[in-house]
Amino acid sequence: MSKRDVTRLVMLRTAERLFAERGVDNVSLRELAAAAGQRNHSAALYHFGDKRALLEALLERHSGPADASFEPAIARLRAEGREDLEQLVRVLVAPMVAKLEDEDGGAHYLRICAELVSSQTFPITGLRAGNGPGAQALTQRLVAHMGDPSPALLPVRMMRTAAVLFCSLAACLRLRAAGLFISREEFTEDLVHALVASLSPRKPARATARAKAAAGGAAAPARARKR
């Protein structure tokens, strides 16, 4: 690894820590360079250009390997005849849950993603990182199993999915830090079920019953008229 690459990695790891601790908008590139031990306060500008590019590089460092795992996982499901919504959600969840135990910035990455879900400055859906070929292929397969949502509802479901995914992971980190241990297996099962429900919501039983009753009531006068 060249000296330039080492410096870049140090700055990325420093950015992960500071962004996770203080929030992306609350850390300047000048502060970042100083915290990374750079004498030149413009070092972050030199290596990344601007904060958005730095953030893209930071996210790509973690999301790149996950993206590479998605297409092979989808291919295995198809070969085994097991492709359904739940199994596809498990493909999405597995590398993200693994970040809980990733000591090289995994927890910082999850906290940053949770922040970006509702960020006005750097919304996660507006960033390139995390939207590589694997993620696009997985999204296409998820959509195919969503029960044909309307074009207007599809982006809502995808945003809700990102919020549930990353905010749940960040919550797990907070609870663990407070001394409440949640096993990886138990957390994964709960998260998978929550995401399946988010992606393919069903009408509550009462609402369905009311709709049927209303339809039946409307049909009665029509039957009477036919007589």
Which pLDDT score is estimated for 213? 61
Check whether residue 38 and residue 105 sit in a common domain.
Answer: no
Which pLDDT score is estimated for 150? 83
Q: Is the pTM here over 0.95, yes or no? A: no
Check whether residue 59 and residue 137 sit in a common domain.
Answer: yes
pLDDT tens track for 3-52? 888 999 999 999 999 999 999 999 999 999 999 998 887 888 889 999 99
Q: Mapped to the 3 state alphabet, what secondary structure does the chain carry?
A: CCHHHHHHHHHHHHHHHHHHHHCHHHCCHHHHHHHCCCCCCCHHHHHHCCHHHHHHHHHHHHHHHHHHHHHHHHHHHHHCCCCCHHHHHHHHHHHHHHHHHCCCCHHHHHHHHHHHCCCCCCCHHHCCCCCCHHHHHHHHHHHHCCCCCCCCCHHHHHHHHHHHHHHHHHHHHHHHHCCCCCCHHHHHHHHHHHHHHHHCCCCCHHHHHHHHHHHHHHHHHHHHHHC
Check whether residue 107 and residue 145 sit in a common domain.
Answer: yes
| Residue 199 domain boundaries | 51-204
Asked if 6 and 95 touch (Cβ cutoff 8 Å), the reply is no
Which pLDDT score is estimated for 82? 96
Check whether residue 198 and residue 158 sit in a common domain.
Answer: yes
Check whether residue 19 and residue 128 sit in a common domain.
Answer: no
- Judge whether 166 lies within some domain: yes
Which pLDDT score is estimated for 152? 87
Asked if 24 and 55 touch (Cβ cutoff 8 Å), the reply is yes
Check whether residue 55 and residue 44 sit in a common domain.
Answer: no
Check whether residue 66 and residue 80 sit in a common domain.
Answer: yes
Which pLDDT score is estimated for 31? 93
Which pLDDT score is estimated for 227? 47
Provide the CATH number for the domain around residue 13. Answer: 1.10.10
Which pLDDT score is estimated for 93? 98
Check whether residue 35 and residue 74 sit in a common domain.
Answer: no
Flag residues of the chain having pLDDT under 50: 207-208, 211, 219-227
Which pLDDT score is estimated for 207? 47
